[in-house]
Amino acid sequence: LNQKVNVEQLQNEFDAILVAAGSHKGYNMGMGNEELAIDGVEFLREFKLNSNNFNIQKGEKVAIIGGGNTAIDVARTVLRLGGSPTIYYRRTQNEMPAIAEEVEEAFAEGVKFEFLTAPTALRKTSDNQIEATFIKMELGEPDETGRRKPMPIEGSEYSINLNKIIKAIGQSYDEFVFNGKTLKVKQGKIDYDANVPVFCAGDMAWGGTVTEAIGSGNKAAEEIDYYLRGIHYQPEESPVNTVVPADINFAYYLPTPRIENRTKYGQDMFMNFDEVVEGLSEDQIISESNRCLHCGECFSCGNCYNYCPDAAIHIDAEGRLRIDYDYCKGCGICFEECPCSAIEFKMSEVEYE
């Protein structure tokens, strides 16, 4: 199980191959002496497995390069290990891809931020520190991602001494799985020169949350199943997350505010790895579940039964609401009065002889 294998080694043994290798290999910053920087994902992995394996000392100045969730996780971990973390990000806070709530929590805990700033050079000093040169940036025109492109400001370079620098500018998959080839992977079947079809799923092909990665695996399994049975596969165009029906009747629901979990911070963050966001009590959980709109799902409210003028709605032996089409005249009142759009109403053309 611990042996590394790739597609080339497996292609003669199976009828299809699914690659879900994740994205755990950090991107390079593209500068000299980059080996002086610790990889962010590696830092978090080693911390989880071996505690303070990178020997963060109390009071050490640590720079974290990046603006995503990994950068935030690294900074907040360094803070708890006693270091003094500063996140350097080449755009502004508005462009940070990290979860906004976690950015605010990092601010509240004492993580420092330097926006519109990017590293340009690293050098090891005689006293075993790292001299990092940074340059200030300004935002130009939007790039292919839709975000304004950071542009260096000429003559704005400056240098500081650091104890450690950690890079967290994004991750990719390990090219070993494709025998060293770098491919532009996507969800499902990919173009790859192998004896059998190759599919991709998970973080390497989809990205996003754990839930989305699991959903990606389910879709890839469905596509492989179609392939093995010789059936043409046509993926659904609908998004992963359920969209509230446009005709849902919000007038039936009383506005109920969401219960926000209380965020607490310790007076001293050193070695304090307690949960920051408090959980919900049993009463709060029940209250939150009662806020569910049951979009597109009947929850036996009885509106259709009460409003039907022709007694066409009845309750079956299992306690479910059913429509008796021998009595239904197609007035559509049940459709209008359903608060969660669980009833579908279509007008059909009738041919008369």
Residues 6+ apart with CB under 8 A from 252: 301, 303, 339
Whether the pLDDT of residue 66 is over 90: the answer is yes
Segments in 229-323 forming alpha helices (H): 282-289, 303-307
Question: What average pLDDT score do residues 194-223 get?
Answer: 89
Whether the pLDDT of residue 239 is over 90: the answer is no
The percent of residues in the chain predicted with pLDDT above 90, rounded, is 62
Contact 98, 69 (CB under 8 A): yes
Length of the chain: 353
pLDDT band at 237 (very low <50, low <70, confident <90, very high): low
- Distance (Å) of CA 311 to CA 305, 324, 328, 344: 7, 9, 8, 18
In the chain, the largest separation of any two C-alpha atoms, in whole Å, equals 98
Contact 153, 184 (CB under 8 A): no
- Pick the range with the lowest mean pLDDT from 17-21, 331-335, 343-347: 343-347
45-61 pLDDT, tens digit each: 999 999 888 999 999 99
Q: Which two tokens stand for residue 174?
A: 């390990």
Instruction: Quote the CA–CA distance of 206 and 190 in Å, as a whole number.
Output: 13
Question: What average pLDDT score do residues 275-299 get?
Answer: 88
DSSP string, 1-13: --S---HHHHTTT
pTM for the predicted model, two decimal places: 0.77
